[in-house]
């Protein structure tokens, strides 16, 4: 089955579960079901949960009956949350793995244990995060939701409650490797967290400044917030501070990206709109460095430099793409480590090879490696979740 046809069937199945099929779409779905008898079992059994995708992706070959049995055992008979945003991905996995559509080719998973044992599926990242409270309580956030909103309480964007922390409590949102999540702060500021990131925020922030702490990568759209009274004309807005390992960023209202992973040898702030000032963290004598749109501030070996850049490669992750411009292979592989939740090892000294290219972040890991390997400069060996660069 062509990818476009598969996408169409998944859309029809999704609308069927949500009760939104038109008469023409209903006829189209029934026609496909008549051509593929096994699909009737799928339509009857397939819920709106994606938990079963993780279970099924561990297997390479199995027939329709055993697959549905595993689905029932692992998902239907367990208490579960709804993962609507992953539903289509899950449906695609089931359709392909069950082989119920004529001409569908089975997935060729790239990752195996070296001893030929259980297969480890390497799949793209998705909406995953946890909320950690000051008392250590950890709340796993629903993958089906588009993000959370901070106010006096914390709730999902559709209004469903998450928790109500004590006033002035610091909370931390953590995305794992293979995760990302969206946040809306109490002042309306929007934050997109990339994988393997920690974001610390205080509930009900009041006073002369707004402050957050970041370890990892995040894209910010900061809302300007006026002081209520007593401010001079030049000091009308409450600053927004982003604190990372080496720096503090002072913002009034602007759009920018911060890459501040401990595992990287650099810290980058890339400005799209507005103005920000960059300060060395802990240095009260630092007068700051002003950053203008299209510029990037980079800390490396304790030194700050500012240069004009094409911003796309640094913010494309937010739009679901990898964009690499003459980037070192070592840096690219660290990016893939975080997104696909893998471990990378260089067997040969190829870390400094430069690559340029653009790829969808939802691409299979095999497709990503095929594109990099297509340059003939490097090859890969996969052992479980370990990727060896040769």
Name the residue ranges covered by the structural domains of the chain.
3-98, 126-314, 320-389
Higher pLDDT, 367 or 44: 367
Percent of the chain residues topping a pLDDT of 90:
54
Over residues 251-288, the pLDDT tens digits come to: 978 999 999 999 898 999 999 999 999 998 888 777 78
The mean pLDDT of 113-126, rounded to a whole number, is 62
State the Cα–Cα distance between residues 329 and 334, nearest whole angstrom. Answer: 9
Over residues 321-338, the pLDDT tens digits come to: 999 999 999 999 999 999
pTM here is 0.69
- Is residue 216 very low, low, confident or very high in pLDDT (cuts 50, 70, 90)? very high
Q: What are the Cα distances from residue 369, in Å, to 111, 155, 298, 344?
A: 12, 38, 29, 12
Which token pair is 195?
């994988």
Same-fold call for 126-314 versus 320-389: no
* Mean pLDDT, all residues of the chain: 79
pLDDT at residue 84 above 50? no
35-39, 55-59, 276-280, 367-371: least confident range: 55-59
Which token pair is 316?
């494309």
| Element housing 196 (H / E) | none
Q: How many CB atoms neighbour CB 239 within 10 A?
A: 18
User: Phi-psi bin for 139: left (phi > 0), alpha (psi -120 to 50), beta?
Assistant: beta
Return the pLDDT at 202. 94
Return the pLDDT at 105. 28
Q: How many CB atoms neighbour CB 120 within 10 A?
A: 18
The mean pLDDT of 80-96, rounded to a whole number, is 46
- State residue 25 phi and psi, 5-degree precision: -70, -35
Which token pair is 120?
């480890």
Long-range contacts of 38-42 (CB under 8 A, 24+ apart): 38/64, 38/98, 38/100, 39/100, 39/101, 41/68, 42/13, 42/68, 42/94, 42/95, 42/98, 42/100
Residue 273 CA, chain-centre distance (Å), reads: 23
What is the Cα Rg of the chain in Å? 24
Percent of the chain residues topping a pLDDT of 70:
71
CA angle 339, 380, 322 (to 5 degrees): 35
Residue carrying structure tokens 């993958």: 143
Cα end-to-end distance, the chain, whole Å: 34
Return the pLDDT at 86. 45
pLDDT at residue 4 above 70? no
pLDDT at residue 136 above 90? yes
Domain boundaries 320-389, CATH class: alpha beta
- Is residue 40 very low, low, confident or very high in pLDDT (cuts 50, 70, 90)? low
Sign of CA dihedral 383, 387, 388, 390: positive
Return the pLDDT at 99. 46
CATH of domain 126-314: 2.60.120.1440
Helix crossing, 38-45 with 3-18: angle to 10°?
40
pLDDT at residue 83 above 90? no
């Amino acid at each position: 089955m062509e990818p476009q046809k598969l996408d169409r069937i998944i859309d029809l199945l999704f609308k069927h579960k949500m009760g939104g099929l038109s008469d023409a779409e209903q006829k189209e779905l029934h026609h496909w079901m008549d051509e593929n008898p096994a699909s009737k079992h799928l339509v009857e059994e397939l819920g709106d949960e994606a938990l079963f995708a993780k279970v099924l992706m561990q297997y390479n070959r199995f027939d329709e009956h055993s697959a549905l049995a595993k689905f029932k055992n692992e998902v239907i008979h367990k208490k579960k949350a709804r993962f609507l945003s992953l539903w289509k991905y899950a449906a695609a996995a089931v359709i392909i793995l069950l082989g119920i559509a004529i001409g569908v080719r089975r997935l060729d998973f790239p990752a195996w244990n070296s001893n030929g044992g259980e297969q480890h599926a390497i799949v793209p990242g998705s909406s995953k995060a946890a909320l950690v409270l000051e008392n250590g309580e950890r709340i796993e956030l629903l993958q089906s939701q588009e993000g959370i909103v901070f106010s006096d309480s914390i709730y999902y964007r559709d209004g469903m409650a998450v928790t109500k922390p004590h006033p002035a409590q610091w909370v931390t949102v953590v995305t794992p490797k293979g995760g990302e999540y969206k946040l809306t702060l109490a002042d309306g500021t929007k934050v997109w967290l990339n994988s393997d990131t920690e974001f610390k925020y205080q509930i009900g922030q009041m006073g002369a400044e707004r402050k957050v702490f970041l370890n990892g990568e995040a894209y910010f759209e900061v809302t300007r917030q006026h002081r209520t009274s007593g401010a001079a004309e030049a000091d009308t807005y409450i600053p927004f501070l982003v604190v990372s390992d080496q720096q503090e960023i002072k913002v009034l209202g602007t759009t920018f990206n911060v890459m501040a992973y401990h595992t990287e040898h650099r810290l980058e702030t890339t400005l799209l709109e507005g103005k920000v000032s960059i300060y060395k963290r802990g240095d009260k004598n630092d007068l700051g460095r002003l950053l203008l749109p299209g510029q990037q501030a980079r800390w490396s070996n304790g030194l700050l430099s500012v240069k004009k850049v094409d911003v796309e490669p640094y913010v494309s992750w937010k739009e679901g793409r990898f964009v690499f411009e003459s980037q070192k292979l070592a840096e690219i592989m660290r990016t893939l480590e975080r997104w696909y939740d893998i471990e990378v090892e260089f067997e040969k000294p190829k870390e400094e090879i430069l690559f340029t290219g653009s790829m969808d972040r939802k691409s299979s890991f095999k497709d990503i490696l095929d594109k990099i390997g297509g340059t003939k400069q490097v090859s890969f060996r996969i052992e479980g979740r370990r990727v060896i660069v040769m």
